[in-house]
Chain A
Amino acid sequence: MSLVKDLTNGIYRENPIFKLALGMCPFLAVTTSVENAIGMGAAATFVLICSNFLVSLLRNLIPSKVRIPCYIVIIATFVTLVDMIMNAYVPDLHRALGIFIPLIVVNCIILGRAEGFANRHPVLNSVADAVGMGIGFTLAMILLASFRELLGNGTWLNINVLGPGYRNQPLLIAILAPGAFILLGFILGFFNILEKRRGGGQR
């Protein structure tokens, strides 16, 4: 396994959101704006890299019977760090993300990569995998958030794109919860079409 392959694996081929369908909870909940999506993606990526690093480092020490509690302790440590750092330096973003920062502990992507990758690969590969997965997750978040913020608020990353005329009557549902599900459906459908066109087909 080459490092590059591990790194790019998470960005498209095994994108955690679009291909593995992991981490849907924060993905649907905090993608109301691109800013939130970037913040959430960065926080999750940081935790992912750190936990993959540590899990991989300790993979021969952790008894397999108690590995899940051990992973959770490791992940929770970094999530607590992120929570406190964000509260101290970016309080507005911290407030916007709210409960979803502590909930990174139970983010399936992070536990999934610890269990599925880091506990049987060397440290460097695990970190590469975490970086790739983190980028894939963040890009997916930004993609959905772009649609939602643009349609639901007429802005992108707080920059007014569609003008005041649109912002008076935006497609409000895009910001609301149903909009997240509807747009997710469209995006997944789009990726399925891409996959079919490439001749990959369904597994």
Chain B
Amino acid sequence: MAKPARFELGMSPHVVSNQTTRKIMFDVVIALLPALAAATWFFGPKALFIVLISAATAVLAEYLCLKFMKRPVSFALDGSAIVTGMLLAYNLPSGVPLWLPVVGAAFAIVVGKQAFGGLGHNIVNPALLGRAFLVASFPVLMTAGWMAPEQWRYEHDNPFGTHAIAVEEMAALPEADAYSGATPLNVLKQTFDLDASAESARSQGDVAEAGILGERASSIRAALYSVSTYRNLLIGRRGGCLGETSVILLLVGGIYLVMRRVLELRLPLSYLGTVALFAWIFGGSGWFNGDPVFHVLSGGVVLGGIFMVSDMVTTPVTPRGRIIFGLGAGLITMVIRRWGGYPEGCSYSILLMNLTTPLIDRYTRPKVFGEVKNDG
């Protein structure tokens, strides 16, 4: 007589795919490489060093944590630490000293990830937490680091004039390896400051001064909202964090991830779409005259939208939840850009929305098959 069939009891999920953490993470690393090439091209080999140091520190910190907590140390090589380290480096200005990525990556892994229980248990994106930590700890290094060497040329100029020059030069000097000066978003922020000073001048009765200031603000904005700026942003010829330079190369990585089925389009599309919508509504000087193209291309929203909003651990799993997440993050990004103290709000918006992820998942839970709505 044949033996009775053996029944195996197992926990869900029962669907087995050949996707593993390691495969996904190395796909992400591959997708990050084009942007790394752009960073190296525009900011020199130092950019490459910063990324390598950051990734190496992240893996080492992960290894030491696992060793200390007596967990299998092979987890350190599942690729997630490398991704965290790379993403952290992508969020740094190119002018930072080389110890900064070490401190940031160690904090991101030790406090942001392993202290919560390792991969899958961290409540916020470790790379962004590392960045927030560095911004709070070393505000000067983190906000002045993108002044390229050519900055000295404008040093004795007044601060608003220099940026106007920088923007024009950016268009006029296509052969330059790097363009000096503040990031495009910094420049935009300063036009808002100019508007504010124009407003206060007008309230003090100095109409002529107000006119000059307002005129300057709008002429700088006109230079920002131009095809030549868009072209530079797409190619990556701009000041900014290492990884956010070239939109085209970031998109190449994103398309690769979509093709490998690592990136699900709902999150990036709802995030970038919300940014564009609110950029149009209040991203400019008044209402409904902002420039969505400029806002989407500048700063870190493409980097964030492809590689950070889509982090599998810290963002919702439900389809509706993902759209809500993107909406919230996009709105917060634009509110910070327009009215916040920082020129860019991408990282904080994602961190804040990371905290709401459990709540979003809970309220967007799809109906279980056969479940009847309880009218209570």
Contacts and interface: CB of A to CB of B under 8 A. Distances in A.
**B and A form one assembly:** yes
Interface of A: 169-174, 176, 178, 182, 185
B136 A182 contact: no
Nearest to B135: A173
How big is the B interface, by class? 10 to 19
Interface in B137-166: 137-141
- Top-6 shortest CB links A-B: A173-B137, A173-B136, A172-B137, A171-B137, A176-B136, A169-B138
B139 A172 contact: yes
B141 A169 contact: yes
Contacts of B352: none
Residue among B103, B115, B137, B141 with most chain A CB within 10 A: B137
A172 B138 contact: yes
16 contacts: A169-B138, A169-B140, A169-B141, A170-B137, A171-B103, A171-B137, A172-B136, A172-B137, A172-B138, A172-B139, A173-B133, A173-B136, A174-B137, A176-B136, A178-B136, A185-B115
Interface string B78-105: 0000000000000000000000000100
B111 interface: yes
A171 B99 CA distance: 12
A173 B103 CA distance: 12
B111 A182 contact: yes
A171 B137 CA distance: 5
Nearest to B139: A172
Contacts, number: 18
Contacts of B115: 185
Contacts of B136: 172-173, 176, 178
B354 to A, nearest CB: 16
Nearest to B103: A171
A185 B115 CA distance: 10
Given A173-B133, A182-B111, A185-B115, 11 more contacts: A169-B138, A169-B140, A169-B141, A170-B137, A171-B103, A172-B136, A172-B137, A173-B136, A173-B137, A176-B136, A178-B136
B241 to A, nearest CB: 19
A64 to B, nearest CB: 43
A171 B140 CA distance: 12
B143 to A, nearest CB: 13
A174 B138 CA distance: 11
Interface string B111-140: 100010000000000000000010011111
B99 to A, nearest CB: 9
Residue among A173, A176, A178, A182 with most chain B CB within 10 A: A173
B53 to A, nearest CB: 17
Contacts of B137: 170-174
